[in-house]
Amino acid sequence: MHESSTSRVAGWRLGIPVYIYAVIFSSFCVVLGLLWDIMWHMSIGRDGLLAPPHVVIYIGAIVSGLFSAYQILKLTLTKNDPGRAQAVPFWGVFYGPLGAMFSVWGALAMLTSAPFDDWWHNTYGLDVQILTPPHTVLAIGIMTVQFGALVGVLALQNQLRYQTVTPDSHSNGRASRLKWLFALSAGFLLMMLYTLLSESMGKHESHYSGYYATAAIIFPFYLLAVGRASLLRWPITIISSIYMIGMLVPSWVLQNFPATPRLGPVSNDITHYQPFMFPLLLVIPALAIDWLMQRFDAPKDGKRKLNDWLLAGLYAVVFMLILLAVQWPFGEFLVTSPYARNGVFLSYSMGYDGSPDWEFRYAFPPWLTQSTPVFLKNYGKALLYATLSARVGLYWGNWMKRVAR
Mean pLDDT by 10 residues, the chain (405 residues): 51 80 94 93 81 91 91 81 69 79 88 74 61 78 90 87 61 84 95 93 94 97 96 95 97 95 85 95 96 82 77 96 97 96 95 87 92 96 97 94 80
Q: Is residue 194 domain-shared with residue 208, that is, in the same domain?
A: no
Q: Round to whole Å and give the CA distance between 17 and 153.
A: 10
Q: Is residue 160 domain-shared with residue 227, that is, in the same domain?
A: no
Residue 165 located in a structural domain: yes
Q: Is residue 162 domain-shared with residue 176, that is, in the same domain?
A: yes
Q: Is residue 75 domain-shared with residue 171, that is, in the same domain?
A: yes
Residue 44 located in a structural domain: yes
Task: Please report the pLDDT score of residue 128 as a whole number.
Answer: 53
Q: Round to whole Å and give the CA distance between 330 and 345.
A: 10
Backbone angles phi, psi at 95, to 5 degrees: -130, 135
Domain boundary among 142, 176, 200: 200
Task: Please report the pLDDT score of residue 78 as a whole number.
Answer: 77
| CA 323, chain centre distance (Å) | 18
Domain boundary among 165, 200, 235: 200
Task: Please report the pLDDT score of residue 1 as a whole number.
Answer: 47
Q: Is residue 380 domain-shared with residue 333, that is, in the same domain?
A: yes
Residue ranges making up the domain that contains 315: 201-405
Q: Is residue 367 domain-shared with residue 255, that is, in the same domain?
A: yes
**Total number of domains constituting the chain:** 2
Of 89, 140, 146, 132, the closest CA to residue 111 belongs to 140
Q: Is residue 112 domain-shared with residue 31, that is, in the same domain?
A: yes
Q: Round to whole Å and give the CA distance between 6 and 110.
A: 33
Residue 221 located in a structural domain: yes
Residue 150 located in a structural domain: yes
φ/ψ bin of 132: left (φ > 0), alpha (ψ from -120 to 50), beta (otherwise): beta
Q: Is residue 127 domain-shared with residue 228, that is, in the same domain?
A: no
Task: Please report the pLDDT score of residue 28 as a whole number.
Answer: 94
Task: Please report the pLDDT score of residue 112 as a whole number.
Answer: 84
Helix axes 308-336, 209-229, angle to 10 degrees: 130
Residue 235 located in a structural domain: yes
Domain boundary among 176, 200, 224: 200
Residue 333 located in a structural domain: yes
Q: Residue 258 has what DSSP assignment? A: B
For 95, the enclosing helix (H) or strand (E) is strand 94-96
φ/ψ bin of 168: left (φ > 0), alpha (ψ from -120 to 50), beta (otherwise): beta
Q: Is residue 183 domain-shared with residue 205, that is, in the same domain?
A: no
Q: Is residue 163 domain-shared with residue 217, that is, in the same domain?
A: no
Residue 375 located in a structural domain: yes
Of 279, 150, 147, 285, the closest CA to residue 216 belongs to 285
Q: Is residue 150 domain-shared with residue 218, that is, in the same domain?
A: no
Task: Please report the pLDDT score of residue 129 as a whole number.
Answer: 59
Q: Is residue 195 domain-shared with residue 205, that is, in the same domain?
A: no
Residue 7 located in a structural domain: no
